[in-house]
Amino acid sequence: MPKNFVQKILEEHLVEGKLVPGEEIGLRIDQTLTQDATGTMAYLQFEAMGIPRVRTKLSVSYVDHNMLQTGFESADDHRYLQSVAAKYGIFFSRPGNGICHQVHLERFGQPGATLLGSDSHTPTSGGMGSLAIGAGGLDVAVAMAGGAFYMTVPKVLGVELRGRLQPWVTAKDIILELLRRLTVKGGVGKLVEYFGEGVGQLSVPERATITNMGAEFGATTSIFPSDDRTHEFLLAQGREECWKPLGPEPGATYDEVQVIDLDKLEPLIAQPQSPDNVVPVQKVKGLKVAQVAVGSCTNSSFHDLMTVAAILRGCIVHPDVSMVVTPGSRQVFAMISRAGGLSDLIAAGARILESACGPCIGMGQVPATGTVSVRSFNRNFPGRSGAVNDKVYLASPETAAACALKGEITDPRELGEYPVIGWPVKFLVDDRLILPPPASAAGAEIQRGPNIKPLPLAKPLPEKLQGKTLIKLGDNISTDAILPAGSKILPLRSNIPLISDFVFSQIDPSFVERAKKAGGGFIVGGNNYGQGSSREHAALAPMYLGIRAVIAKSFARIHWANLVNFGILPLVFENEVDYVRVNQDDKLEISGLRKAITSGGPLTVKNVNRGFEFPVKHSLSGRQRRVLLAGGLLNFFRQR
């Protein structure tokens, strides 16, 4: 049978298991990526493994999240990260060099390589033909130590692109259309491969916009073939030697297929408070806008920002709008400056932010109370912007620029002729802010600030779990809701005792006090529990508070894996009616746990104070059962 591109890469990197959908496999990882919000914990975990040097072909540590240094914590973490990189053989991208996914695409991504990153938007590099997967930091630490990355073989969803995008319709609209169709949980258990005649018209940065936001419908990752457009990009980056033509074999088939007719697409926009709440811009035009933000790892390329600059040239941002622009990398920043785009943006009244994640992760630019913010970002979960009741809309940079000019949601097609921006023949290459590791770790001393606390570990799984249902939640609870980000909380990522005080703080401020008083307990959730970010702190902090099991209707992939990694049992209601019957404060009990997990046998939960029992199930592999019995992946790895 002819193979699709995904099957070919998986086969080439397979080290354990069989490529059968639903089976667990182990993959060899070529490259790893971390960022500072997740990296500090990942490197603490790597240190605990006792491995003297990373064993991947390439590992890169980026600093791009905790850039708003209102206290000493973030600066201390950055010094720790730089010193760890020097000691263990890791490239270090200094603060100011750019957003990890943008920089990795520019300087390190390779067609056909496997990339594992401690950030859910790692699939960005799928735009150049990498099999790039987001994971928790502990999984990344294991990969750096030479271990395999384990995942369930996903179904392959083929997305055929037909036709050609019309003026003012962009790559962002392609991925918004998929989100409209599939919803935020429609890609769970799937890997997306793009093919068809429409692929060839998309540049690597445009493809990266699409693969970046594949994370929003829960896909394991997304990938484009490596073709002439990939060669064009790598040649312009001075990395032609990395290129090779890769793609599906003629006649390859897919488990499912979606067809998108690019000719028929129109500008789209995601309404609050979910990336899949997508409608045509025309449907909500005229709604007053108070803030516009262009950038993030989704839409901050040279082409994106030069297009926005051309739209704003000679104009002024509407007086009722605050507009900010974030260049995705130092390379982009320098190039829009040399090309005149930066001066156009400044002259129009846009405020230029440093090359970092910034507002996308709630680091500054919190919208005014009750106002609409239009952003070219990837997520608009409740409170992600820093305001609990925010009204964040997601759209293309072109639509965002039109809104900034008009002061209301505007179809960009109303602006007239679409500005044509040429693609650079040669990108400006200056890697002086990327520090290569020294040949030897001799003399390298790790620097630890007072905010870096010892890594907490779970205890081995007990024979019996009992405790209260500490909280009952609905569907699509994101990791932002479990453990928020923002300028107050994000700097505490290396301090689990302190950051645990913010678990569910935006949903139920009393949760932490009740969890501590009860000595732990259970969490009950709805469908797609833990969607969004890869932040393993959304599992680590609850574990620290004594949570040993989460019972939900279904789980998002990365969070489910993170729960297992930190010794928390993820269980699924066998009958959804039982979800309705369980209430907050109910006392639950699971007996015979170790025996049932060891054998893979059935599990029953007893609702003690309501007097009924209900069955639950899990999809743990044999390896994952052993991980849970050991009290988490780090315990398991060290035992081996």
Q: How, if at all, do strands 155-162 and 256-261 pair? A: parallel
Residues 6+ apart with CB under 8 A from 633: 138, 139, 142, 564, 565, 566, 627
- Composition of the chain by helix, strand, coil, percent to 5: 35, 20, 45
Give the pair of three-digit tokens for residue 424. Answer: 């650079």
Give the pair of three-digit tokens for residue 162. Answer: 């037909």
Active-site residues, by number, are 64-65, 119, 379, 533, 535
Q: How, if at all, do strands 434-435 and 465-472 pair? A: unpaired
CA distance 169 to 396: 8
CA distance 612 to 331: 61
Is-contact 495 501, C-beta < 8 A? Answer: no
Query: Which residues partner with 325 through β-bridges?
Result: 294, 352
Is-contact 126 220, C-beta < 8 A? Answer: no
Alpha helices in 89-170 (DSSP H): 100-107, 137-144
Is-contact 111 125, C-beta < 8 A? Answer: no
DSSP string for residues in 20-64: -TTSEEEE--SEEEEEHHHHHHHHHHHHHHT-SS--SSEEEEE--
Q: In what order do the strands lie in the sheet with 256-261?
A: 221-223, 190-195, 155-162, 256-261
Length of the chain: 640
Give the pair of three-digit tokens for residue 337. Answer: 């400056």
| Maximum Cα interatomic distance, the chain, rounded to a whole number of Å | 72
- Nearest-5° angle of CA 149, CA 7, CA 91? 40
In angstroms and rounded to an integer, the radius of gyration of the C-alpha atoms of the chain is 24
DSSP string for residues in 208-268: HHHHHGGGGGT-SEEE--B-HHHHHHHHHTT-GGG---B-PPTT---SEEEEEEGGG---E
CA distance 236 to 424: 7
